[in-house]
Amino acid sequence: MLTAKEALRLLHRGEVSSRELTQEVLKQIERTEPAVHAFLTVVAEQALAEAEQADKHLAQARRDGDEIPPLLGLPVAVKDVLITKGIRTTAGSRILENFVPPFDATSVRRVKEAGAVIVGKTNTDEFAMGSSTENSAFGVTHNPWDLERVPGGSSGGSAAAVAARMVPVALGTDTGGSVRQPAAFCGVTGLKTTYGRISRYGLIAYGSSLDTVGVLSQDAADAALFLNIMAGRDPLDATSVDAPIPPAELRARDDLRGLKIGVPREYFGGGIQPEVESAVRAALEVFADMGAEITEISLPHTEYAVPVYYLIAPAEASANLARFDGIRYGPRVPADSMWDVFRRTRGRLFGAEVKRRIMLGTYALSAGYYDAYYGKAQKVRTLIKRDFETAFEKVDLIAAPVAPSTAFRIGEHTNDPLAMYLEDVFTLPANLAGVPGVSFPVGFDRLGLPIGMQLMGAHFQEHLILEVVHTYQQATDWHRHQPDPLGDDEE
């Protein structure tokens, strides 16, 4: 499978048609999907019809010398928590099993307006609540590198689809690591944007002060292209920011002299898989060889990120998911009274993890406990944010592992919620601080499972991070490795 930019060059030169490219994508999905289960919905006929229209547009633009929309004819996938007009959107939940939205999320609309062809919706933990894509009501997604292991979550379907070369790029979302962690587990590049960089309008909300739209791709160059298209102020989202939009093109630097990269000591404590630490340290050596200055820093409140997140996010989820009550949205389980309708509908159609987080959040917000739990968590969140602000006064970027280990086995943490929550220990702080980060592959463990590293930057520094990752990817080939989920060595 070509990268997005490689495919677009061929499309724009007329060396391949959008229909041919889309047919190849659909063929790879059909071939690989039974083993991986990355998709919840595939819209093959619609995608082929859109590809034919794209081919007509391309032909006319080449004939008339008109500017070609930047994504014209490119097949892409969308995580199933982003609203798509006319395409079923479930959020991985039975409560939205048959929901077909009448509008597009702003991020999706901008990608479509740039000419992309939507081929389907990818699997996700229910309402994006999870770190393994095991919480989907519609089945587990399997890691293409080892079908017995998880792809990460909650954007596991998007990460697996890109890793298995079903699509060149997939949209994802990141509330506590849900783009970066599956990117690391699946050996692809994952961009978590600054809070407010991309509109959240049409993103089915989990934690409104934490949710961000991101990209999963084969490399940083493709992520930069999609960031350029989706970024920008949206009058439909009051939290979106009117900041300069990063350019679509990245340049590989000749060297990284003058760049300061901080390595937080708190991210290399006990519990980290030795191979993960070794691979991240080796990547730091590559950056040092390119001239970057590597220095140890401290983010002293890191240890509080997990408890703070699991008070704030469930509290916001409790409020956001109150609308799914069998009256206003989704299906209804009949009962004799309104309150019984609420109880039966939510009790039967929400999964166990969603109910767990709703109960945690409702408790944290309840009278007598608000100040002790939610209020205090917000104060500690401010301390975590200040840690990052202080660090970025001394360094340009922060480097760290993405997860303590490589992909774990399906079912390994199912009965241990705390162990599952700790999988996000290195990604949660960026969401609490609202800063951007990119996960990218830097090696493999002894079992052949991908290892990811993340670079984080100050607010709205996505282009700097992506440029540094792009420079690394021009000097290494970790991102070019791809799995063979069917074990037949076919490309």
Which residues, in sequence order, are CB contacts of 117 under 8 Å at separation 6+?
18, 22, 47, 50, 51, 54, 73, 74, 75, 76
In this predicted structure, the answer to whether residue 99 has a pLDDT above a threshold of 90 is yes
Distance between CA atoms of 326 and 69, rounded to whole angstroms? 42
Active-site entry in 154, 155, 158, 240? 154
Q: φ and ψ at 109, to 5 degrees?
A: -60, -45
The whole-number average pLDDT for the span 380-405 is 98
Give the strand order in the sheet containing 75-79: 39-42, 117-122, 75-79, 169-174, 212-217, 189-192, 437-444, 450-457, 397-401, 260-264, 293-297
In this predicted structure, the answer to whether residue 490 has a pLDDT above a threshold of 70 is no
Q: φ and ψ at 287, to 5 degrees?
A: -60, -40
Q: φ and ψ at 28, to 5 degrees?
A: -65, -40
pLDDT digits (tens, 9 = 90+) for 417-455: 888 988 999 999 999 999 999 999 999 999 999 999 999
Which residues, in sequence order, are CB contacts of 432 under 8 Å at separation 6+?
210, 305, 308, 309, 312, 381, 384, 385
Active-site entry in 18, 93, 178, 217? 178
pLDDT digits (tens, 9 = 90+) for 111-150: 999 999 999 999 999 999 999 999 999 999 999 999 999 9
Distance between CA atoms of 377 and 485, rounded to whole angstroms? 42
Which residues, in sequence order, are CB contacts of 339 under 8 Å at separation 6+?
none
Indicate the average pLDDT of the chain: 96
Residues 239/119, Cβ–Cβ less than 8 Å? no
Pairing of strands 450-457, 397-401: antiparallel
pTM tops 0.95, yes or no: yes
Extended beta strands in 236-292, E state: 260-264
Which residues, in sequence order, are CB contacts of 328 under 8 Å at separation 6+?
none
pLDDT digits (tens, 9 = 90+) for 155-197: 999 999 999 999 999 999 999 999 999 999 999 999 999 999 9
pLDDT digits (tens, 9 = 90+) for 202-218: 999 999 999 999 999 99
Q: Give whole-number Cα distances, 414 to 140, 149, 355, 420, 447, in Å.
A: 12, 12, 15, 8, 22
Q: Which of 141, 169, 168 is nearest to 154 (CA)?
A: 141
The whole-number average pLDDT for the span 358-364 is 96
Query: Beta-carbon neighbour count of residue 45 at 10 Å?
Result: 9
Distance between CA atoms of 451 and 443, rounded to whole angstroms? 5
Q: What is the residue extent of each domain of the chain?
A: 4-262+392-480
**pLDDT the model gives residue 487:** 85
pLDDT digits (tens, 9 = 90+) for 7-32: 999 999 999 999 999 999 999 999 99
pLDDT digits (tens, 9 = 90+) for 36-71: 999 999 999 999 999 999 999 999 999 999 999 999
**pLDDT the model gives residue 315:** 97
**pLDDT the model gives residue 269:** 80
In the chain, the percentage of residues whose pLDDT exceeds 70 is: 99
**pLDDT the model gives residue 489:** 56
pLDDT digits (tens, 9 = 90+) for 231-273: 999 999 999 999 999 999 999 999 999 999 999 999 998 789 9
- The more confident residue out of 331 and 235 is 235
Residue in the block written with tokens 């009051």: 238
pLDDT digits (tens, 9 = 90+) for 274-299: 999 999 999 999 999 999 999 999 99
pLDDT digits (tens, 9 = 90+) for 161-170: 999 999 999 9
Active-site entry in 17, 18, 79, 155? 79
Class of domain 4-262+392-480: alpha beta
State yes or no: cis peptide before 154, omega within 30 of 0. yes
Does the active-site annotation cover 154?
yes
The whole-number average pLDDT for the span 314-337 is 91
Q: Which of 34, 12, 7 is nearest to 23 (CA)?
A: 7
Distance between CA atoms of 399 and 457, rounded to whole angstroms? 9
Pairing of strands 397-401, 75-79: unpaired
Q: Within 13 Å of residue 466, how many CA atoms lie on the same side as its CB?
A: 32
In this predicted structure, the answer to whether residue 91 has a pLDDT above a threshold of 80 is yes
Residues 165/26, Cβ–Cβ less than 8 Å? no
Distance between CA atoms of 461 and 470, rounded to whole angstroms? 14
pLDDT band at 491, cuts 50/70/90?
Answer: very low
490 CB burial (10 A radius; 0-12, 13-18, 19+)? exposed
Distance between CA atoms of 430 and 198, rounded to whole angstroms? 16
